[in-house]
Structure 1
Amino acid sequence: MGAGSDIGRVTALFLKQQKVIKTLTLYDEPEGCVLGVASDVAHIDTSTEVEAYQGRLYLKHALHTLKLIGTYDKRRLLGVNAISSMRANQLFCSLTGKDPSTSHMPVICGTGRCTRVPVFSMGKAGNFPQTQVECLTKLVREAEEIICKVKGDGKQGHLSIGFSTARFVINIMKGLFEKPTFIDSALVEQEDPKKCYDMPICATPITIGKGGIVQYEVPTLNETETRLLEKSKSQIFRVLGSKNEK
């Protein structure tokens, strides 16, 4: 969904190159967006086939079909939080000199600016001064605003977001069809909220297998992270509560 946007185009470009993906299905609502993207990436000479659907009618059909066959499964429904964990990992590794490909830096709780909680303590950031950890946390939370100011066009960092989203999808596919695969952070319905900071829905690291989520990797927090989580939880509960009321 959203394949006609700047982020969607970058994501589609990366996904078209992946052998694990047999058919790349693109959707967007506005006219004149996704069909052009599909036509463009279809020229890339890889084995992945491309399909495109435009307009709200197609989305309604898809959602109606899911309801009819009762396919809702919380272990197979994942919200993207890849960009937050990727940014946190890059910041941490740039300071420590670690190889980003062997490091994982989860960002828990939510996906919005006021709900992201980077768990830098997992990366042994205990040697960092508290002021430095607070600065890193602020950079993760305010990354979009910083990029918009630097670019000067009011747009997000569509290259990094597109890349992280594509990697997120690829890891899901690897987990479903190849071998259990670890994902740094995904917004999911938790199996046991009591084991996840009393949050029924929370972004946490997970492991994906053939049936979907096979393990919820809930990290242990230090005091600073716990305080930030408690502040952030209220924002999540407020959003969930308002939606339930509707």
Structure 2
Amino acid sequence: MTLVVTGLVVQDGNRTAVHNVDLTVEPGKVTAVIGANGAGKSELVLALAGVLPVTGGEVRLDGAALTGKGPEAIRRAGIAAVPEGHRVLTDLSIDDNLRAAGSLIRGGLAERLAETYAVFPELAERKAQLAGTLSGGQQQMVALAHALMSRPRFLLIDEMSLGLAPLIVKRLLGVVTDLKARGVGILLIEQFTDLALGIAESAVVLRGGKMRYNGPASALAEDSRLLHEAYFGI
């Protein structure tokens, strides 16, 4: 099963944020999307999650069309997004945050909670704590755990490390690595290029909403000139 994006065009208001982007996310592999601020990375994730409308191109999961479907349908299909900004329900406890996420999927709530707390035992230890009182790193864990409650086959993670301490980033990278080993396909948008290319098999570079590179992550990691030209232009 593969997530395939072909010729994607995304409008954000009157602006075309994403122009004719192609990418593939395979099970058990990471596709990194990198680029400067304003390159269209977050809009790409929001469109794939069904939050922003797709105005051109196709999104297919194992051949089935997802283009134009809303967030709930896309999550039921097996795709969960972790938007930028450590988004949690601040007035609810950790446990109630995860239960709210589980309520979107039918059946097996207790089992899903146990699975998710097994990934983040540090959250299980403080499940009664209000999410709004957590540190930024802990809130990012809750945001990831929220997505995991749907048992996704594909994860769309936007700026996972933004504003976080190196120790927390290392912990979250370990979670991503474990999910990858379990066969989850991951689209990773990341501000730290070295981090993204170090964990990814393939990479897409966006500049001005357009795709400037689409190929092996290792090629960018090994050739700084190629990365610079894709990222900034000649």
- TM-score, scaled to structure 2: 0.26
More strand by share: 2
Q: Which structure shows the bigger proportion of residues in helix conformation?
A: 1
User: Relative CO higher for 1 or 2, CA cutoff 8 Å, sep ≥ 6?
Assistant: 2
Find the structure with the greater CA-based Rg.
1
